[in-house]
Chains A and B, each alone.
Chain A
Amino acid sequence: MNETNLWLLFVIPAIVGALLLVIPMTARYLRGVISTVTAALLVYLAINLWGQQIEINLPWAGFGIDFQLRYYGFSQFIVTAITMFAFLITLYSTKFMVDKPKSNQFYGFLLLTEAMAIGAALANNLIVMLFFWEGLLITTFALISLGSEKAFQTGLKSFIIIGLSDLCLTMGIGIIWVQAKTLVMSEINLDTAGLNGVAFVLMMIGAIGKAGAMPFHTWIPDAAEDAPLPFMAYLPAALEKLLGVYLVARIALDFFTLTDGMRILVMSIGAITIIFAVMMALVQKDFKRLLSYHAISQVGYMILGIGTGVPIGIVGGLFHMINHAMYKCCLFLTSGSVESQNGTTDLNQLGGLWRQQPLTMICFVVAAASISGVPPFNGFVSKEMIFEGALEMGSAYRIFYVAAVLGALFTAASFLKLGHAAFFDKVDPKKPRVKDAHWTMQLPMIVLALTCIVFGVWHKLPLNGILKPALMESMDKVIDKGIHFEFGFGPLFWTTVLILTFAILNHWIGYKLTGKGLGASHHIYELPGLHQIYDLAEKQTFDPYVQGKRGGRYVVKGLFYIDRGVDWFYQKLVPATANKIAQLRQIHNGLYANYLSWSVGGLLLIILYFLLSVPK
């Protein structure tokens, strides 16, 4: 029975999604309701599958490529999370997307994405995973380009960037296939010497590309503006992080045994992502772009956590992944409700919403607090674990701890600015009063906010309940001592309090200088060194995609000339030789005597040849 359940888990969304795409339904809410019901069904399926070990193994394409699925601790955790978020997003988007253009396709693609994600999480054969992974690539492109006319460009950008990283993933899988001689994910473990090292790097690129860390992040901020909001809440916030970091974990823990050199590489990527993204987020003027940059920086934390290789760090990284999914999704949903009520997410026009949209404001405050690492909330717990992991690495790796702390500081500063500008700033009187969003939009926000609180205060429950079985297989020797994290008032607690006070102080100075909540980060923007960097960033100099396009133009011109060359060969050269040969035909002048003399000449040659070749 369970195997059929497992099959149903990803077949149902695929079928329903396909049907939604194909079948024309006119009723306004029908599509939204259908997809929400399916998502709910999936959540139910995932829950009653919890805690079982199921394995499916079907011969598929031969050569060791079989259709293998495996439902065990780790994938159980990911799949359940996916179904939860899918349910919340579909519920949210029934109201939000209803009047948007092309909304009928949105639900179809949403469910297809969910099917692909579950498939990728369950896959136990690299090729099967790759198959679903590519599926995600396509649905992402489709969902983005549903947003608006300009969205197609961003969709294309995301397609190319993720496509490239998927290409590296494919190459990595190829090398693993050669080195490990098997494609079954649970049996692969290689050292990182020589070719395996290359495979490791390629696979990491693939994973990070999906998770949206540096340097594959540039499409996310653009998508924030153009793509439909539920997409942002669903994929960049939750799903991509889940799958991306899942793969990073599998690579770092299962596939390869990392050497210190590799560990440093991974952690440095994490650190850079944290710092750079949060600096960019600080100066954003738009609600959603700011959130998208934070999504990128939080990925940095997860990668840093897993990169430490210390058990507490790894568990912290994964715990941070699920926490981040919750509060980031909640933040995006709040921005969604702000946008749906006020029609814009530009912070300059927003202000004083705390009285008009109280519920949204409360959820925003809870989520903002947990992302900034305020003590009782879940963000604080997972960040503390990552800090502890970084510290435990030893004094040589102090730099990563400093980076993490700096990141936390700026995250707190930017959210203070955001909250102040959006909700608490003085409102200009002529702006019309706005009432709060529809209940279907508020319910998901409230649920997420509550989970943030629950996972924060009673953090033992998720740690031992969800994460312990998840990592059971990968790090068995460590886990059995139990993941213990005392909510003590140790040195880490005080550093966090220090960070927060410093952030509030900085916010107060900024507010005093500019008189507006939005200006809180202005003085940082003006700092001499940073100013130039920010201007460069604005001109997208650091965006590999834009540079690639400029370079592409020359490649195209080169190919054009090559093609002209081939054309010349066929149009000019072949007929020319044909005519030259035409002259050759003149020797056939029709005279019989010629033909006969050729023949007799041939005969004489033959006789001569025989006389020579046969020794008398």
Chain B
Amino acid sequence: MLLAYILVPLLGAAIMPILRKIWQKGTDSVPILVTVYQIIITGWIAYQGIVLNGSLNLERWILDQVLALRLDGLSLVALLAIGLVSFVTVLFSLRYPLDEDRRPGYYALILLAVTGMNGLVVATDLFSMYVFLEIVSVASFILIAYQYDEFGMEGSFKYMMLSAVATVFLLVAVALLFAITGGVSFGELAQGVKTGGPVVFISFAFIFFALALKSGMMPFHGWLPDAYTASPAPVSILLAGIVTKIAGVYTMIRLVLEVFGFNSVFMNLLLVVGAVSTVLGAFFALGQKDFKRMLAYSSISQIGYIMMGLAAGTPLGLIGAVFHFFNHAIFKSLLFLNSGAVETATGTRNFDELGGLAEKMPVTGTTSVIGLLSTAGIPPLAGFWSKLVIIVALWMAGFKFFAFIAVFASIITLAYLLLLQRNVFFGKIKQGLEGIREVSPVVYWPAIIMAAITVFSGILFPLVYDKLLNPVNSLLGLLAK
């Protein structure tokens, strides 16, 4: 049954060229069906898991021996996020001016990216994770360069060459660990890591380098702003919303939990790099003039937050990290949706040319306010809860200084987001922009969905907490072994 997560999008992509000939409209509806299918299935599993056995303690609920797949609390949250963000991306790209006869190819690549992500989430051994990681990465390189424009090419090339280096080092590390443990699945790797010794440290250094680069953490983040700004609007939603997080952050969480465990040397490293990314990301974002580029740096900062949550090393920290992972996927894709809407309506993303769009584009305006406030961590919204949990976890884990850093960074986050809101949506409308109208419903409906999710998961946080997130720390049981 878990295989369906991989096969359905794969088949969806495979039949695209055939569909183009026999049922032209089908090319639009298939991706929607696939993504909706994923949301429903994941929702149903979560519902069943919750209702049946109290809370979702999917220890190792579904284990497919042959293909070594596995679904548990963490991957369920990831799958839900993948489903939602890809659904929203497809909805947004229905109206987006893509070159018509290449549209089936475009949808195929998006579905392949979804396949890659799903595979990566359910895989239980590092090598097949690498393979699916490559599927997602290559698909996203192509999607970035989809528009044939100079920026797209440049952004894609930089992202490609940097992640190539990352995968090389990842594979070398896999080889080293394989040499010691004789196997590549998490269980065997964990055994190998327990023996300790310099080789384990070197392989963790390589893996940390690869995953930090893939998730865009500070010193390794060079590609991220260029890739996000250069890519076409719907692709940037997918990319910023979920690809980077699954490729980088999810893998890191999975490896830390299953293979390397919370040993203090790794955790301190993760904490420092996380803190650096959070603060510098926020500072860089403060000075930006381009809507998407500011959001890109804000992503770096938020991913730094998730890493700090993980690095706290306590179950609470993990819960905070996973919840912020989910929240960030939601409100970051919401913000990129808004930037896409602004771009389609006004044709530009530069703050100096934008201003006072709120009354002309009410829906985009309000949803972007919700997104911004959630990112900055304003109480009723979901972002607040996850940041709060992370800060509390850091504080309780004894990293008081880093807790202050986290609070300081979120203040700067609020500053640059308000700056953004003021430049783009409030204030008086710029002369050239009187004529613009709100984007079409198909475009702003996804924004409303995402905003609703942020608001409700914020308000219903207690319910979300003990039903969806508590099982996540059942993973820590794994660690105890």
Q: How many residues of A contact B (CB 8 A)?
A: 30
Q: Is B19 an interface residue (CB 8 A)?
A: no
Contact B158 A582 (CB under 8 A): no
Question: Which of A578, A588, A599, A607 lies in contact with B205, CB distance below 8 A?
Answer: A607
Q: Can you name the residue of chain A whose Cβ is closest to the Cβ of B285?
A: A581
Least distance between B476 CB and chain A CB atoms (Å)? 24
B426 contacts across to A, CB distance below 8 A = none
Q: Is A562 an interface residue (CB 8 A)?
A: no
Q: Is A579 an interface residue (CB 8 A)?
A: yes
Chain B positions 260-313 with a Cβ under 8 Å from a chain A Cβ:
265, 269, 283-284, 286-289
Q: Is A57 an interface residue (CB 8 A)?
A: no
Contact A585 B162 (CB under 8 A): no
Contact A592 B157 (CB under 8 A): yes
A584 to B283, CA, bound (A): 9
A580 contacts across to B, CB distance below 8 A = 287
B288 contacts across to A, CB distance below 8 A = 585
Contact A610 B265 (CB under 8 A): yes
0 or 1 for each of A573-616: is its CB under 8 Å from B? (1 = yes): 01001111111110010101011101111110111011001101
Least distance between A5 CB and chain B CB atoms (Å)? 47
Question: Which of A578, A585, A592 lies in contact with B161, CB distance below 8 A?
Answer: A592
Question: Which of B198, B209, B226, B284 lies in contact with A606, CB distance below 8 A?
Answer: B209
Q: How many residues of B contact A (CB 8 A)?
A: 34
A601 contacts across to B, CB distance below 8 A = 219
B222 contacts across to A, CB distance below 8 A = 588, 592, 594-596, 598-599
Contact A610 B162 (CB under 8 A): no
Contact A595 B158 (CB under 8 A): yes
Contact B202 A610 (CB under 8 A): yes
Q: Is B415 an interface residue (CB 8 A)?
A: yes
Interface SS of chain A: helix, strand, loop or mixed? helix
Q: Is B228 an interface residue (CB 8 A)?
A: no
A582 contacts across to B, CB distance below 8 A = 287, 289
Least distance between B280 CB and chain A CB atoms (Å)? 9
Contact A581 B283 (CB under 8 A): yes
A592 contacts across to B, CB distance below 8 A = 157-158, 161-162, 222
B209 contacts across to A, CB distance below 8 A = 599, 602-603, 606
0 or 1 for each of B235-250: is its CB under 8 Å from A? (1 = yes): 0000000000000000
Q: Can you name the residue of chain A whose Cβ is closest to the Cβ of B272?
A: A609
A583 to B288, CA, bound (A): 10
Q: Is B107 an interface residue (CB 8 A)?
A: no
Contact B220 A606 (CB under 8 A): no
Question: Which of A599, A607, A614 lies in contact with B219, CB distance below 8 A?
Answer: A599
0 or 1 for each of B186-210: is its CB under 8 Å from A? (1 = yes): 0000000000001001101110110
Question: Which of A581, A594, A602 lies in contact with B287, CB distance below 8 A?
Answer: A581
Contact A613 B223 (CB under 8 A): no
Question: Which of A574, A598, A602 lies in contact with B415, CB distance below 8 A?
Answer: A574
Contact A614 B201 (CB under 8 A): yes
Least distance between B263 CB and chain A CB atoms (Å)? 10
Least distance between A296 CB and chain B CB atoms (Å)? 52
Most chain A CB within a 10 A radius of its CB, from B162, B220, B223: B220
Most chain A CB within a 10 A radius of its CB, from B206, B219, B223, B416: B219
Q: Is B419 an interface residue (CB 8 A)?
A: yes
B289 contacts across to A, CB distance below 8 A = 582
Contact A614 B169 (CB under 8 A): no
Pick the 3 closest A-B CB pairs, nearest first.
A595-B222, A602-B219, A581-B287
7 A-B residue pairings within 8 Å (CB atoms): A582-B287, A595-B162, A598-B220, A599-B162, A600-B165, A606-B208, A616-B198
Q: A578-B286, A595-B162, A598-B219 are in contact. List 13 more A-B contacts (CB 8 A).
A: A574-B419, A581-B283, A581-B286, A582-B289, A584-B283, A588-B225, A595-B223, A599-B162, A599-B209, A599-B213, A602-B219, A603-B205, A606-B269
